[in-house]
C-alpha cells in the first residue's frame, strides 16, 4: 500500500508538472476578455452612458420587483438592459450607472459582469458566436465543433 501511495504521488506530481505551464498561462477569460478593465477610446470613464427614457421606464419596472433592501438583486436584469441598449456590450460607464441605481459598489457590478459570459465588456461584432468550452463539452466534442465553425466561416477565435 505504501509503495502504491508513493507511486500515486509521483504520478500526480509528474502529471501536475506537465499541466502547470498550461494552467499558469491561462487566466479565466471568456470570449477573449481579461478579468479586469483596460481603458480604450471607446470604453473609459469619459464615455457617456445613460438609459433612454423608454429604458428608464423598464428600470422602474425591474426595480419595483425587489424590496428596497434588495435593490442589488436587480443587477443582472439592469446589466442586460444596459448591454442591449448599448449595442451588445457593456461600457464601464454603464456598469457605473447600474451600480448607482442598485445603490451598490461598482466592484460588485464588475464582479457580476466579468463572471457571467452573457455580458460582454468589450465591443462585439454584429454576430456574436459563443461555444461552450467546459470539460464536459470538450469531452462531447466542442473542440471539433469549434474547428468546423472556424473552417466554415473562415474565422478564428476572437474575430
User: By C-alpha distance, which of 96, 93, 109 is closest to 49?
Assistant: 93
Q: In the predicted model, what is the mean pLDDT of residues 102-108? A: 95
pLDDT band of residue 83 (cuts 50, 70, 90) is: very high
pTM here is 0.69
Q: In the predicted model, what is the mean pLDDT of residues 55-70? A: 97
What is d(CA 130, CA 140) in angstroms, rounded to the nearest whole number? Answer: 16
The shares of helix, strand and coil residues in the chain, as percent rounded to the nearest 5, are 55, 0, 40
Q: pLDDT of 118-150, one tens digit each?
A: 999 988 888 888 888 889 999 999 999 999 999
Average per-residue pLDDT in the chain?
82
CB 99 within 8 A of CB 106: yes
Give the pLDDT of residue 36.
66
Q: In the predicted model, what is the mean pLDDT of residues 87-99? A: 95
What is d(CA 89, CA 76) in angstroms, rounded to the nearest whole number? Answer: 14
Q: Which of 28-37, 80-89, 146-155 has the lowest mean pLDDT?
A: 28-37
Residue 65 in grid coordinates: 420587483
Amino acid at each position: 500500500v505504501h509503495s502504491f501511495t508513493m507511486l500515486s504521488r509521483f504520478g500526480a506530481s509528474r502529471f501536475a508538472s506537465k499541466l502547470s505551464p498550461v494552467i499558469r498561462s491561462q487566466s479565466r477569460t471568456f470570449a477573449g476578455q481579461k478579468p479586469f478593465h483596460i481603458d480604450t477610446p471607446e470604453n473609459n470613464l469619459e464615455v457617456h452612458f445613460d438609459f433612454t427614457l423608454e429604458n428608464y421606464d423598464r428600470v422602474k419596472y425591474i426595480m419595483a420587483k425587489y424590496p428596497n433592501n434588495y435593490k442589488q438583486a436587480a443587477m443582472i436584469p439592469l446589466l442586460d438592459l444596459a448591454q442591449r441598449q448599448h449595442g451588445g456590450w457593456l461600457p464601464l460607464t454603464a456598469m457605473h450607472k447600474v451600480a448607482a441605481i442598485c445603490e451598490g459598489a461598482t466592484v460588485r457590478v464588475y464582479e457580476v459582469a466579468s463572471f457571467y459570459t452573457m455580458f460582454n465588456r468589450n465591443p462585439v461584432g454584429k454576430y456574436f458566436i459563443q461555444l461552450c468550452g467546459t470539460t464536459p463539452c470538450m469531452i462531447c466534442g466542442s473542440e471539433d465543433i469549434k474547428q468546423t465553425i472556424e473552417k466554415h466561416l473562415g474565422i478564428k477565435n476572437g474575430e
